[in-house]
């Protein structure tokens, strides 16, 4: 298993730094069912980290643990040097962890613009009295953040749907808006849960391009779950493989592809 420890420069000239997040000995149970069992791995600054595994392997549960939606029974999470028993959603958000969801969790009744603006919530500090007045500080803050959001809208090429309620958008565009909302938080660590599920080839190419650009231009660390192996192998620097809630491999795409346990897991070889 190749665990990199020193800052490295990748072939495409990105710098991958120290460990940013460390999950250690995580065990998560629901009643009698163990969703994740004693799993440890790390995520380093600036890398694209993939989490793969067959259905029901505990990948989404892992993301839920990382941003504090589920609370593991055992283990610790270290983020930015601070070790915690478990993460809390609000702390994760303020510390710069953003997230997209497997089944698109947009605010259906709101427009694209408003959805992405909600991602700025933590950056907007003006209290309710200024907001009631609106004219003045609240308006300045609104415009400042709107400018930032417009750069994201330009980046994701969704200018034309700015004023449309997101509930009526096609799935591929919804996924893009959701990515925009996460980006609006200016995250340090971006978790993407199956960003390309249900997309056609063209949409997948677009999304891959966005992910690479986000990583390169903003230096955002990305952890993603994806089923399309081609995409995973192309994009990621390192891959974690989970199966039945346990970590079975961790390494570069090449290493993981050759790992016998991984091949068995995907071919469905019986466990002993």
Partner 1 sequence: MFYRESGQFKTGYAADQAVFPILQDRWGVLLMLIIGFVGVPLVIDDYWANAVFIPFLAYSLAALGLNILTGYCGQLSLGTGGFLAVGAYSSYKLMTGFPELDMILVLLGAGAITALVGLLFGLPSLRIKGFYLAVATLAAQFFLIWLFYKVPWFYNYNATGQITVPPREALGFLVTTQKADIVVRYLFILSIVTVFAIAAKNMVRGRIGRSWMAIRDMDIAAELIGIRPFATKLSAFAVSSFFIGVAGALIFSVWLGAAESGETFGIIESFLVLFMIIIGGLGSVLGSFLGAAFIVLMPIGVKNVLVDWFGFTAVFAKHVEITTFGVLIIFFLIVEPHGLARLWQIIKEKMRLWPFPH
Partner 2 sequence: MLFFLETVISGLLAGVMYSLVALGFVLIFKASGVFNFAQGVLALFAALTLVGLLSGTTPFTHVDNPALAMPAWAAIPATILVMVLIAVLVERFILRHLVNQDQIILFMSMVGLAYVLEGAGDIIWGSDVKVIDLGLPQGAWDWLLDSHGLYIEKIELVAAGVAGALVIVLAIFFQKTRIGRALRAVADDHQAALSVGISLRTIWIIVWSVAGVVALVTGVMWGAKSGIQFSLSLIALKALPVLILGGFESIPGAIVGGLIIGVGEKLAEVYGGEVIVALFGRWIEIDPGIFTATENWFAYVLALVFLLFRPQGLFGEKIIERV
Q: Give the interface with partner 1 as residue ranges (CB under 8 A).
A: 67-69, 89-90, 92-94, 98-99, 101, 105-110, 114, 117-122, 124, 126, 128, 131-134, 138-139, 141-143, 146-147, 150, 181-182, 185
Position 69 contacts partner 2 (CB under 8 A): yes
Task: Decide which of partner 1, partner 2, none touches 102; Cβ closer than 5 to 8 Å per partner kind.
Answer: partner 2
Task: Decide which of partner 2, partner 1, none touches 30; Cβ closer than 5 to 8 Å per partner kind.
Answer: partner 2
For partner 1, the closer CB: 128 or 267: 128
Q: Which of 3, 105, 133, 140 binds partner 2 (CB under 8 A)?
A: 105
Task: Decide which of partner 1, partner 2, none touches 60; Cβ closer than 5 to 8 Å per partner kind.
Answer: partner 2
Q: Which of 11, 13, 30, 217 binds partner 2 (CB under 8 A)?
A: 30
Q: Which of 38, 76, 95, 102 binds partner 2 (CB under 8 A)?
A: 102
The count of C-alpha atoms lying within 13 angstroms of the C-alpha of 261, restricted to the half-sphere facing its C-beta, is 17
For partner 2, the closer CB: 192 or 248: 192
Q: CB of residue 271 vs partner 2: minimum separation in angstroms?
A: 25
Position 129 contacts partner 2 (CB under 8 A): no
Number of other residues whose CB lies within 10 A of the CB of residue 15: 12
Question: What 3-state DSSP class applies to 139?
Answer: helix
Task: Enter the tokens of residue 35.
Answer: 């969703």
Q: CB of residue 90 vs partner 1: minimum separation in angstroms?
A: 6
Position 107 contacts partner 2 (CB under 8 A): no
Task: Write the CA distances from 165 to 102, 122, 160, integer angstroms.
Answer: 20, 23, 12
SS3 for 197-240, per residue? CCCCHHHHHHHHHHHHHHHHHHCCEEEEECCCHHHHHHHCCEEE
Q: Could you tell me where the DSSP H helices lie in the chain?
A: 59-66, 89-94, 112-118, 128-133, 137-155, 171-183, 201-218, 229-235, 253-258, 260-267
Question: What 3-state DSSP class applies to 80?
Answer: coil
CA angle, 101 then 119 then 79, to 5°: 70
For partner 2, the closer CB: 68 or 75: 68
Spatial CB neighbours of 138, under 8 Å, sequence gap ≥ 6: 126, 130, 131
Task: Decide which of partner 1, partner 2, none touches 80; Cβ closer than 5 to 8 Å per partner kind.
Answer: none
For partner 1, the closer CB: 29 or 146: 146
Position 64 contacts partner 2 (CB under 8 A): yes
Gap between the Cα atoms of 211 and 152, Å rounded: 13
Residues near partner 2, by CB under 8 A: 30, 60, 64, 69, 101-103, 105
């Amino acid at each position: 298993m190749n665990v990199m420890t020193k800052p490295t420069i990748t072939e495409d000239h990105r710098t991958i730094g120290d460990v940013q997040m460390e999950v250690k000995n995580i065990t998560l149970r629901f009643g009698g069912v163990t969703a994740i069992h004693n799993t440890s791995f790390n995520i380093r600054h600036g890398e694209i980290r993939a989490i793969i595994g067959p259905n029901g392997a505990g990948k989404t549960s892992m993301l839920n643990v990382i941003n504090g939606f589920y609370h593991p029974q055992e283990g610790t999470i270290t983020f930015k040097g601070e070790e915690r028993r478990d993460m809390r959603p609000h702390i994760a958000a303020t510390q710069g962890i953003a997230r997209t969801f497997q089944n698109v969790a947009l605010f259906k009744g709101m427009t694209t613009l408003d959805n992405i603006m909600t991602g700025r919530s933590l950056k907007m500090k003006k209290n309710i009295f200024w907001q009631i007045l609106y004219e003045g500080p609240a308006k300045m803050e609104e415009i400042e953040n709107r400018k930032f959001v417009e750069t994201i809208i330009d980046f994701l090429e969704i200018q034309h749907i700015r004023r449309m309620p997101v509930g009526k958008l096609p799935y591929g565009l919804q996924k893009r808006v959701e990515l925009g909302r996460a980006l609006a938080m200016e995250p340090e660590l971006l978790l993407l849960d199956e960003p390309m599920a249900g997309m056609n080839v063209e949409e997948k190419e677009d999304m891959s391009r966005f992910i690479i650009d986000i990583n390169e231009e903003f230096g955002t660390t990305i952890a993603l779950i994806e089923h399309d192996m081609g995409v995973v192998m192309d994009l990621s620097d390192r891959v974690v493989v989970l199966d039945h809630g346990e970590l079975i491999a961790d390494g570069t795409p090449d290493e993981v592809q050759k790992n016998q346990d991984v091949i068995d897991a995907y071919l469905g070889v019986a466990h002993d």
